[in-house]
Amino acid sequence: MSDLSIELTAPNGRKYTQPTGLFINNEWVKSSDGKKITSINPTDETDIAEVYAASVDDVDTAVAAARKAFKDPSWRDISPTDRGNMMMVLSDLVAKHADTLATIETWDNGKPYADSLGDVGEVVGVLKYYGGYADKIHGQVIDTGPAKFAYTIREPVGVCGQIIPWNYPLAMAAWKLGPALACGNTIVMKAAEQTPLSILYLANLITEAGFPPGVVNILNGVGRVAGAAIATHVNIDKVAFTGSTATGKEIMKMAAGTMKNITLETGGKSPLLVFDDADLEQAVKWSHIGIMSNQGQICTATSRILVQESIYDKFVEAFKKQVAELSVVGDPFAETTFQGPQVTKVQYERVLGYVKAGKEEGATLISGGEAFTKGSSSGKGFFITPTIFTGVKPSMKIFREEVFGPFVVIASFKTEEEALELANDTTYGLGSAVFTKDITRAHRVAKRIEAGMVWINSSNDSDYRIPFGGVKQSGIGRELGEAGLAGYTQIKAVHVNMTSD
């Protein structure tokens, strides 16, 4: 329908057709109550487009479509190989539309265009990876003796509600779509209300790839309405959520009403440990990448840098220089830009609020911590200069709470034991990093750090073939890798009596 899409021209000159409706049953529809949300360009604070926002009734409609598709032979009885091939086709279509998808992502989210292209590349890889797994998901025969023939079947969970965040809209969508589709589930996905545009464009590619109506449904909407309706819906069998720990706890409570299968990937305050025998240049390079990439809006960002006392001053000086030289703040479509704007005004103000808190608590601000007003020609936009605090104590708010921005604290330690105590003194447990040339120490520390992931001599170079997830209040379950399939299947045991008794 022409009134469910608009023609847009992005700041880089690319023209494209932007869907604005709800994608239900392979069709674009308006919300039942006509409500909309506005997507804002964080670079200059102008409106990009209005899209329809799903009501509770719209969630009901999408869930009904997904349930019907789950039982329909066109999806239920398709061979796993054909299902995987369909995912491969979708992967190829994403690659074909990479420039447009990356353009939308940068315009809507604010991340540098080169980073958006990298995210699209990850979508291509994830869909292809799980497409290859589709016909390799199987049960086993269990030998209990001649009196019984026993085997297991790995069956899809059913209708999956998937709620994705705004920091990596396309990549996080792929992380959830990939394993769910490979296992034969159907999906009701809610895009982040701050960044809905790229996923809506992706929806048309899902139809083009040949997925039957109702297999994938994509809704825009606010969390307290559409998100809550998904989490509580009696006909949704599983909820997968990526976002803040506070929201994850609410999702968990709501899902408990119907005892849904859940996967949660939530917040983090990840430590990065630099020992005195580390390659300092490598440690500085990866420390910068680990916190300042993607505007610091990364759940696994290594935002607490812990440096051994004997090299602390030398590291701080080198790190400050690295940030000053490489963290070029500006127009996300400019080739020279490393850091674009924060995604929203709320996030922008949140980061500046933590700058104020750090100063009030007595930490030392050695770089940044201010609004950056040269990111757009209008002088507007949600830009912040990369922020570095030293003299930070473990009791301070900026040491303990997730900021989710280009904001890092640097503290010192004397011994390995003290480093581990500082690293583990947190309610979070998502990522961590260790820099040392001592391979024995590296493995010893990796074993003792309380986190779902440890990088040794790197930071945040995740890979879709490797499990991703946390411990403590950083989530439940794993995404990516073979482990990512576990949350989207359930095991049925079949017992066959082989005797006449």
Residues 6+ positions from 139 with CB-CB distance below 8 Å? 151, 152, 153, 154, 491, 492
- Spatial separation of the C-alpha atoms in residues 150 and 496, rounded to whole Å: 6
- Helix, strand, coil shares of the chain, percent, nearest 5, are 40, 20, 35
According to DSSP, the β-strands at 271-274 and 304-308 are parallel
Nearest to 390 by CA among 463, 474, 320: 320
What angle do the packed helices 280-292 and 312-326 form, to 10 degrees? 50
- How far is Cα 483 from Cα 454, in angstroms, rounded to an integer? 17
Structural tokens at position 331: 């127009």
Say which residue the tokens 């590296």 belong to: 442
Long-range residue pairs from 391-395, CB within 8 A, at least 24 positions apart, any chain: 391/362, 391/363, 391/364, 392/358, 392/363, 393/361, 393/362, 393/363, 394/422, 394/425
Known catalytic membership, residue 265: yes
Buried b (16+ CB within 10 A) or exposed e, 74-110: ebeebebeebbbbbbbbbebbbebbebbbbbbbbbbb
Phi/psi at 431 (5° precision): -115, 175
Could you tell me the CA-to-CA distances from 468 to 38, 222, 242, 263, 300 in Å, in that order? 32, 26, 12, 12, 10
Q: Is 480 left (phi over 0), alpha (psi -120 to 50) or beta?
A: left
Residues 404, 300: Cα–Cα separation, whole Å: 10
DSSP state for residue 329 in the 8-state scheme: B
Please pick, among 265, 317, 401, 418, the residue that the annotation labels catalytic: 265
Residues catalogued as catalytic:
265
